[in-house]
Amino acid sequence: MNGLGGLNKSENGVVIGLVQLQLPLVKTPEDLEAQTQVIVDMVAKARRNLGTMDLVVFPEYALHGLSMDINPDIMCRVDGPEVAAFRKACVDNAIWGCFSIMELNPGGMPYNTGLVIDDTGEIVLNYRKLHPWVPVEPWEPGDKGIPVIDGPKGSKLALIICHDGMFPEMARECAYKGAEIMLRTAGYTAPIRESWRFTNQANAFQNLMITANVCMCGTDGTFDSMGEGMIVDFDGTVIAHGTTGRANEIITAEVRPDLVREARAGWGVENNIYQLGHRGYVAVKGGAKDCPYSFMHDMVAGTYRLPWEEEVKVTDGTSCGFPAPTRLYGERFKDAAE
């Protein structure tokens, strides 16, 4: 059920719009200012397009494009003019918005940051991408964890970014912290199309969670993003899908967080997010609550190591033109040099 793309909104529905935004080419502060205005104008278009829309979602790289340029002159601050413009657009159009910036990080590489802004202009979610798409992306690993917030209409909302969604642990963490809707914004290009589709569905089904996912779209003359806006229900059913690759199309659907809550409470078979921590509850009261997974224990201990660790050939960004890093995680450039 998607309410004819949100045209017929139910009392408990949340209408989401995914913007398959035209991929920009941003090299200068003037380009950045112009692209900010493009996004502001698209917020207004979303509101005009569908009066029932609660949340409009822009892809990763909507502001900066796919150049991977770390020029500080075009990096953003959360309290900077670009974000201020996004906040005003949400107020002016009485709509929630999800936005992407590359965030200035003095003493380190920039963060790939996602923001959710409510219809009063308040930044209610601030997330830094935990898993940059290495070796292609130079961004600093995120340090804020995965926040889950009260979203539109009382829904529980989380945001992950692009490559994050290839790690099932990311979606599981969102659901474990209560998310009923998980946004996934991306800049992915066509070679990732199939894995994009099945991970969006798997992330939903394995966690009884709605996923709303969108990529940049079109070409900047070098890169070609694929659009592929997808809204997936908690049972893994795709309820809206932008398959045409049409730039600036807004893919919409109504989703029902109340039915997520009902399923999580009422499902027996395939209630996997519950059963993970209650193994075999038919045989033993309450199920086994141990942690049988070696990789979890090793990550906590800081000893995560693959059996084929020594055979892994790509372990830094030199193959993509970036210098080999010398800092350890948590160090700043100055600290590493001392």
Give the catalytic positions in this structure. 60, 129, 162
Pairing of strands 55-57, 14-20: parallel
Closest to 237 in 3D by CA, of 200, 267, 192: 200
Q: 109: which DSSP letter? A: P
Integer angstrom CA distances of residue 23 from 18, 137, 245, 246, 261: 14, 17, 12, 11, 36
Pairing of strands 210-215, 230-232: antiparallel
In the three-class reduction of DSSP (H, G, I as helix; E, B as strand; rest coil), residue 68 is classed as: coil
Strands lying side by side in the sheet with 249-255: 123-128, 111-117, 96-103, 55-57, 14-20, 249-255
The sign one gets for the Cα dihedral 159, 163, 164, 169 is positive
Asked if 80 and 39 count as a contact pair (C-beta separation under 8 A), the reply is no
Spatial neighbors of 121 by CB under 8 A, at least 6 apart, are 87, 88, 90, 91
Closest to 96 in 3D by CA, of 150, 174, 38: 150
Q: Report residue 47 as tokens.
A: 């509101």
* Helices and strands counted in the chain (H then E): 9, 14
